Amino acid sequence: MLPKCRSCEYRRFRLQALAPSRHQHHDDASGPRMALSTPDPVQSLLEPVCKFFRKIISPSDETTDRMRTRSVEAVDGEEVVAWSGRTVFVAGGTGRTGRTVVRHLLAKRDKVVALVSSEKRIQEILGDEMKEHGPNGSQLLAPLEGDIKDEEALRRGLEGCDAVVCAVGTRFVPEVGFVDSPEELYAKGVMKLVRVAASLFGEKPINSSREELSLFSFVELGGSSAEGAKGALDSASHDGRILVDGWAQQDDTVGTTGLSESSFALSSDGAVFEGTLSTAGPAFCATGAADIPGGPRNLAPYDGITMTARGDGQRYTMYLKNRTSEGGFDYEASFDTVRGEWVTVDIPFNRFRPGTQADVPPFEPNEVASISLAVSESDSAGMPNYLCNLGKFKLEVKSIQAYRNPRPQFVLVSSAGVERSARAKTPDEREKSIPIVKLNPGGILTWKLIAEDILRASGLKYTIVRPCGLNDEKEDTPYLLEVSQGDAITGLIPRKAVARVCVEALDSPNAAKTTFEVRCDVVSEGLEQKDYQGLFERLRPDLCPRPVLYVQGHAQTPEETPSERESVSEEVEEKVSVQAS
């Protein structure tokens, strides 16, 4: 017999949750939090764990883990951007995927705690890395001898860590079978690792959504008196209003024959950029390039610029200068407004372009010196702004900040085919599926899917990577990668590429709360995948699963009666045992 439905298989190993039985969207930060448990008596609710795993550190500090030095390292012939300062726990650190994860993390100057079966094993597999980065080297690599089912060992290893990569795998020996039980490894082992990570990461004083670094707060200036604002305000005025220092007029009347005019002045709500775009000239209005308070800022750990603004429905432009030294370049990005409504405008750094300037490197926010705002009938490349109306314009701004969205705290390597196995409800459907689904040895796909659901319901920021067929024959041949969701693709991918995806996911906010399949694009042989952030931007976030209670060795949804639970439990025991055999 084969399982009739996916939910029946899940009910042996799930989560304890003291929460209402309703679906929740992934970003519902105000919703109930869940606590993981073994079949012991129900534990009390954990502190909210849907929080940022990175510690908030003031950018004014001269040396911080967050404000890291960027460099480029090489791992197996691939370039890896290095940002030092993070500590990552790697389960399965000497496995064929895990060992490459460790190497990539070390190349990024991250500290690594590698869970290994024995220190002898890590010396055999990562001997060179141990010499360079072990206790007698840079001390970036710390092996932890233990087992994923040893909760105390996991707690010792995870103390002080910022993130987890779980790349454990079963060992299959022909004529013998699995050396490690898929049930013990993926359901019970991963469950313990997730539980420990959730409890430790949940105790950190970190934001539940994202971090913001204030650059300009016009509300504070607007609410102060003119006398109290001395030094922050320009002595000039415009129609009786106080202009904001550093945001001087830079309209088409400056050096040209234009007649447009504007001002950037304080108001009760913050500051107002307003004026008139005239048809007699280039029709361009801008503020002066306002210096970032405190000097150029390293905004590399952040994702972009955000501001609270109320506009008139037109399209405006923000300019950034990334360094004050001679030869500094201006980069621009456009943003739209909603007429008469206060909105939060996010402008990712990867949207800033150098306009028509030639031979300009891509924007890197490691030394942002100034910001300015503009409105024009065309951009610097001469392309028309179709959301620009000549005449009066008005943009109100409360504040401008740098923002950083949450990154994944836990990356789990799973497998393509886990959903297809659960959807195969009859022997005929299974026979028509891909080879791994036909066989499903030891119920391995079932247990991997259960491990995924345990992680999804934990409250952690996670990424679940489902590689297609693992094949290392062409591991040194570069390919572009393809990602998909819904468990519908097949293909091949080397373990080295899977490891790189896992490590890059830790630095991508677009990878948080996602599950996806990945394979090599066979028509792109010879092309190297470099834009991982663009790869993750194609992903859709998951929805959190339904809360359940872990009662006496199996899961109970709130609607079930005791008799229904007993029936389900017996059915699951029978189906899983038949499938495993």
Whether residue 326 sits in one domain with residue 190: no
**CA dihedral sign of residues 483, 484, 485, 488:** negative
| In-domain check, residue 40 | yes
Q: Which amino acid is present at 439?
A: L
Domain that holds residue 297: 212-404
> For every residue of 190-249, which 3-state class applies, written as one string?
HHHHHHHHHHHHCCCCCCCCCEEEEEEEHHHHHCCCCCCCECCEEEEEECCEEEECCCCE
Whether residue 433 sits in one domain with residue 313: no
| Domain of residue 423, CATH code | 3.40.50.720
Question: Which distant-in-sequence residues (6+ apart) come within 8 Å of 238 by Cβ?
Answer: 263, 265
Whether residue 254 sits in one domain with residue 162: no
What is the per-residue pLDDT for 333?
Answer: 92
Residue ending a domain, among 387, 404, 421, is 404
Q: Which amino acid is present at 524?
A: S
| In-domain check, residue 275 | yes
SS3 104: helix
Whether residue 46 sits in one domain with residue 185: yes
Report d(CA 573, CA 570) in Å as an integer: 5
Report d(CA 521, CA 504) in Å as an integer: 18
Residue ending a domain, among 404, 434, 456, is 404
| In-domain check, residue 553 | yes
Q: Which amino acid is present at 288?
A: G
Whether residue 527 sits in one domain with residue 491: yes
Torsion, Cα of 267, 270, 276, 277 (10° steps): 170
Contact between 399 and 214 under an 8 Å Cβ cutoff? The reply is yes
Closest to 370 measured CA to CA, from 289, 315, 456: 289
Closest to 397 measured CA to CA, from 247, 229, 238: 247
Contact between 15 and 581 under an 8 Å Cβ cutoff? The reply is no
| In-domain check, residue 187 | yes
| In-domain check, residue 226 | yes
Closest to 125 measured CA to CA, from 95, 90, 162, 150: 95
Contact between 402 and 217 under an 8 Å Cβ cutoff? The reply is no
Report d(CA 501, CA 124) in Å as an integer: 25
| Domain of residue 236, CATH code | 2.60.120.430
> How far from chain centre, in Å, is Cα 160?
20
Tens digit of each residue's pLDDT (9 = 90 or more) over 144-173: 999 899 999 999 999 999 999 999 988 766
What is the per-residue pLDDT for 239?
Answer: 52
What is the per-residue pLDDT for 303?
Answer: 92
What is the per-residue pLDDT for 165?
Answer: 97
Whether residue 440 sits in one domain with residue 385: no
Which secondary-structure segment (H or E) carries 519?
Answer: strand 514-520
Whether residue 559 sits in one domain with residue 411: yes
Torsion, Cα of 491, 496, 498, 503 (10° steps): -160
Structural domain count, the chain: 2
DSSP-based helix, strand, coil % in the chain, nearest 5: 25, 30, 50
| In-domain check, residue 265 | yes
Whether residue 230 sits in one domain with residue 196: no
**Per-residue DSSP letter, 361:** P
Question: Which distant-in-sequence residues (6+ apart) come within 8 Å of 133 by Cβ?
Answer: 106, 112, 139, 140, 141
| In-domain check, residue 1 | no
Contact between 88 and 167 under an 8 Å Cβ cutoff? The reply is no
**pTM given for the model:** 0.72
Tens digit of each residue's pLDDT (9 = 90 or more) over 87-97: 999 999 999 99
What is the per-residue pLDDT for 117?
Answer: 87
Greatest CA span in the chain, whole angstroms?
Answer: 89
SS3 128: helix
What is the per-residue pLDDT for 322?
Answer: 81
| In-domain check, residue 346 | yes
Whether residue 393 sits in one domain with residue 443: no
Whether residue 219 sits in one domain with residue 145: no
Whether residue 373 sits in one domain with residue 434: no
Instruction: For the beta carbon of residue 485, count every other beta carbon within 10 angstroms.
Output: 15
Report d(CA 22, CA 409) in Å as an integer: 24
Tens digit of each residue's pLDDT (9 = 90 or more) over 360-384: 788 889 889 999 998 887 766 667 7
**Residues above pLDDT 90, as percent of the chain:** 42
Whether residue 231 sits in one domain with residue 171: no
Residue positions counted in the chain: 581
DSSP codes joined into one string, 260-308: -EEEEEEETTEEEEEEEE-SSSS-EEEB--EEPTTSSB--TTS-EEEEE
Report d(CA 108, CA 119) in Å as an integer: 23
What is the per-residue pLDDT for 301?
Answer: 87
CA angle (77, 81, 87) in 5-degree steps: 110
SS3 569: helix
Tens digit of each residue's pLDDT (9 = 90 or more) over 216-243: 998 876 544 334 343 444 444 445 456 7
Residue ending a domain, among 375, 404, 433, is 404
Burial of 372 (0-12, 13-18, 19+ CB in 10 A): buried
In the chain, which residues have pLDDT < 50?
1-72, 80-83, 205-208, 223-238, 240, 255, 325, 546-581
Report d(CA 355, CA 329) in Å as an integer: 10
Report d(CA 219, CA 295) in Å as an integer: 21
